[in-house]
Amino acid sequence: QQIPRVTVKWPNDVLIRRTQIIAQSSSSPSAREGHEKIAGVLIESARDWFLIGIGINVGYAPSIPSKGADYGRRATCLSQYCNASTSAGEIDGEGRSKEEEEYWINMSKKLAIDIAHDLHSWLHSTPSTLSLDVHSGESVLNQWKSYIDWDMELILRDTPKRERVTLKSVMHDGRVVVQEVETGVTRTLITDYFL
C-alpha cells in the first residue's frame, strides 16, 4: 500500500492522495489514485482582524454525496491512517470502542491546542526567530504552492458542463490559471469552486 501524500487543493482544502485498488475482474485489479479531503481552512477578514477556521477530520469522516446538488469530494480522517492506542472494549454501531472514541476526542482537543499555539507563535514571532519575509503574502503563497498536486484533475462544480481542468498557475492575487483536460484551452478564474 502506498503511503498517502498530503496535498492542497487551492484555495482551502487539505487532501490525502492515495492509490486505491479496484477489482475490475478476479484476475485483473487496477489501481486508481484518489484525493480525499481531510481538512479545510476558511479565513474571513475585516479592517484589522482575521477570523481563521480550521476543520480537520480527526476521528470520523463525514459521508459526502457523490451525486445531486450537494455532491462533493470523498472525505477521510486521521484515524484511518493512525492507530488509536486503546484496549478493546464495548463496540458501537460503527465498529469503535468507547475507549477509541475517547482517544480521538482527546486527540482532537490536543490538535486544536497545538494548532492555536503554532498560529500564535507564527503571528507573534520576532525577526530574530524567522526570516524577514516569512509573513509576506508571496512567502505564504509560495509555501502553499509547494503542496499543490499540479497533475490532479479538478472539476468545475458550478459550470453547466462541469469541465475537468488542471491548475497551471496560482497568481499573487488568488486567481488561478487552469487548463481544460479535453480541449487544452486555458483560462483565468476568480471564484470558481473545484471538486
Q: Which residue has the cell 496560482?
A: 170
Question: What does the pLDDT read at residue 1?
Answer: 45
Question: What does the pLDDT read at residue 27?
Answer: 53
pLDDT in tens, 35-83: 899 999 888 888 888 888 899 999 989 998 878 777 888 899 998 888 7
b/e per residue, 16-51, with b = 16+ CB within 10 A? bbbeeeeeeeeeeeeeeeebbbbbbeeeeeeeeeee
DSSP 158: T
Provide the whole-model pTM.
0.75
List the pLDDT tens digit at each of the 195 positions of the chain.
455 588 888 888 999 987 665 555 555 554 556 889 999 988 888 888 888 889 999 998 999 887 877 788 889 999 888 877 665 555 555 666 888 889 999 999 999 999 999 888 877 776 665 555 666 778 878 888 888 888 888 888 878 888 899 999 988 888 899 999 999 999 998 866 777
Question: What does the pLDDT read at residue 143?
Answer: 82
Question: What does the pLDDT read at residue 88?
Answer: 56
Q: Which residue has the cell 479592517?
A: 47
